[in-house]
Amino acid sequence: MPFALNNSNLLWNSVDTNIPWYGQTGVSHDGVASGRSYFIGDNQRTALLTATNGPGTLTFWWKVSSQTNADILSFVSSGNTFTNTTQISGEVDWQHQTYYLTTGPQALQWNYTKDASLTAGQDAAWVDQVSYVLGATPPLFTSQPVGQNVFAATPVIFTAGAVGTRPWVTSGS
């Protein structure tokens, strides 16, 4: 798995050794290799796991070919103070993901889960080019607050979007 996922700095495991993820060269984002979910039946799950310490920035590419809204590829990162959860299903081509992990131990898990019936696509999930860079990332604004006109002494709330390592310190005046 380290070669397939382009990351030998993390220790890779599967929840169940009977249905592990495996490295393969048939489908990949980088044209070399990727990790693929094992062949599973209805009501089964296969999981790829690793762990690290934060803060840090995790990036990876993922893809799924499955029954829409039924057979799901999910990613969960859980740490001391914050949990990220994302999922995709159906025919989803390679997507790049970035997560800013908090301080302390971080459990990282990719799950491919099938429902009780039907199949679609290749019934598989792939993960490629996993990168983890240790260190905090300061907040980066993704959207700026919009100006507002209000009467004097009227409270106002400004909203902005940001990404980066949590927790963020906020203040108002």
> d(Cα 65, Cα 96) in Å, to the nearest integer?
16
Instruction: Judge whether 104 and 80 are in contact, CB under 8 Å.
Output: yes
Q: Is the pLDDT higher at 96 or at 141?
A: 96
Question: Residue 138 pLDDT more than 70?
Answer: no
Per-residue pLDDT, averaged over 23-37, amounts to: 96
Which of 9-13, 62-66, 150-154 bottoms out in mean pLDDT, i.e. has the lowest?
A: 150-154
Mean pLDDT for the chain overall: 87
Predicted TM-score (pTM) of the model is 0.79
Exposed / middle / buried, residue 137 (Cβ in 10 Å: 0-12, 13-18, 19+): middle
The pLDDT tens digits of the residues spanning 40-79 come to 888 899 999 999 998 899 999 999 999 999 999 999 998 7
Pairing of strands 161-163, 140-143: antiparallel
> d(Cα 72, Cα 64) in Å, to the nearest integer?
8
Residue 99: partners with Cβ closer than 8 Å, 6 or more residues away: 57, 58, 59, 77, 84
Residue 139's DSSP bridge partners are none
As given in the structure block, the two tokens for residue 103 are: 């301080």
> d(Cα 110, Cα 46) in Å, to the nearest integer?
8
Which amino acid is residue 61, in one-letter code? W
Strands, E assignment, the chain: 13-14, 22-24, 34-36, 45-65, 72-78, 83-89, 91-113, 124-134, 140-143, 161-163
Domain boundaries along the sequence of the chain: 13-134
CATH number of 13-134: 2.60.120.200
Question: What pLDDT does 173 receive?
Answer: 46
